[in-house]
Structure 1
């Protein structure tokens, strides 16, 4: 073979070896994390999603976010929680930022919840019952129509250590009718903080961390016979 031809052959062989080596390196150098992420994504999406609609007690005013009762209930069931609760808000009563439950529901409608937690609230006790009923019926209807397969779980008002006024029972009845009217589950949790000032913060309204746990426990006790699982 002439020298020039042999030289070309040697160069071609060398180039081919480099190319093959480069391909091999590219495969070996694929980040392990990339494979892990690709596998983890479906698992994350399959985790049940829950949204909480409520007031300062559902928000967890005065405690850590993970100590609020919606977070405790979600953790118990392995749900991924989006807590939309706003301090001071109700179906009619605007919260500290001007939002009512209407605004929380509007945000929820852009999510994909498997469970919806919605709390009756002391904040509506001084509002016109007819307006509270109208709002509750409308918002629960929207939630059910948008998420017909989601399980809607309502709870009664969380009160402090003192005796609640009669208007709280009125609000509870309104929300119960709205929740059950769309096939949801309504839990009467009573007043787990009644007569127990050690479970309430200094303001006499908001449960402390132990109080939030007490509320979550009663909710769990009511959910257990209903077969609500993770």
Structure 2
């Protein structure tokens, strides 16, 4: 089921339009069951895509309607972009000038100070093989005392050596949210779904993203009353933007910047 979905999402096709082969009754029933599972997964992605296209984020609480309005601040608005190599900009030829936080910062203008706290290989899991919790960027992000925090961690957590601790992912994520909530600025926080995985590499896999990370992020957002910026939907069907199948290029980073800006800024 997962391999079929990966191929379809890479080409932008819906599983619902695929022909059903003629099978003996038993095999046919099994196939239909798998078909319905794929269809539900596809429909969930479509609903998410429509939410992103229409509002910039999916909200499970009151935060999304209350976007950042520069008029509400009497100082430069500090935005902390917390994440992994995709936030850092790995895979982009001119990373320093085309990572998504920098692109978004240029678009937002002088009223905003957008900082990149991405760390290549970082996990949300405290027991991950390269936990963000232990990186200096986590401390730096908190010391930045941001007004806005964008969290995008989970891609590296899908690696087998990390996902064996999957039962702790949501708790670790919630603990990180609480660390930022406790800051003096009481920042607005947005959670991001991971980008699509167009080919399993370094242990990073699409099944872990779709069936593991995204459902947990959605459940956590609902429990905490926080909005989700669905980068999975924004970057689906765009394999040409992922030269190594994992990291978006400059064009992909631009899509991320535009999607996140639309989600967080009141215009």
**Category of TM-score, reference length = shorter chain:** 0.5 to 0.7
Partner of 1:110: 143
**Does the CA contact (< 8 Å) of 1:121 and 1:158 recur in 2?**
no
Q: 2:221 and 2:179 mapped to 1: Cα distance?
A: 11
Residue of structure 2 aligned with 1:215, choices 242, 253, 256:
256
**Does the CA contact (< 8 Å) of 1:193 and 1:200 recur in 2?**
no
Bigger radius of gyration among the two: 1
**Does the CA contact (< 8 Å) of 1:160 and 1:193 recur in 2?**
no
> Which runs of structure 2 are paired with 1:5-44 in the superposition (5 Å)?
none
> Which runs of structure 2 are paired with 1:49-198 in the superposition (5 Å)?
49-63=78-92, 64-78=95-109, 79-92=112-125, 93-95=128-130, 99-101=131-133, 103=135, 104-126=137-159, 127=163, 128-147=165-184, 149-161=186-198, 165-169=206-210, 170-198=212-240
Partner of 2:3: none
**Does the CA contact (< 8 Å) of 2:79 and 2:146 recur in 1?**
yes
Q: What is the RMSD of the two structures over their aligned residues, measured on CA atoms?
A: 2.6
Distance 1:108 1:146, change over 3 A: same
Q: 2:218 and 2:266 mapped to 1: Cα distance?
A: 22
- The SS at the match of 1:61 is coil
* Structure possessing the higher relative contact order (Cα contacts under 8 Å, 6 or more residues apart): 2
Q: What TM-score, normalized to structure 1?
A: 0.66
Q: 2:216 and 2:75 mapped to 1: Cα distance?
A: 34
Structure 1: tracts of 5 or more residues without a match: 1-44
**Does the CA contact (< 8 Å) of 1:161 and 1:194 recur in 2?**
no
Q: What TM-score, normalized to structure 2?
A: 0.58
- The SS at the match of 1:158 is coil
Distance 1:111 1:179, change over 3 A: farther
Give the number of aligned pairs: 178
- The SS at the match of 1:83 is strand
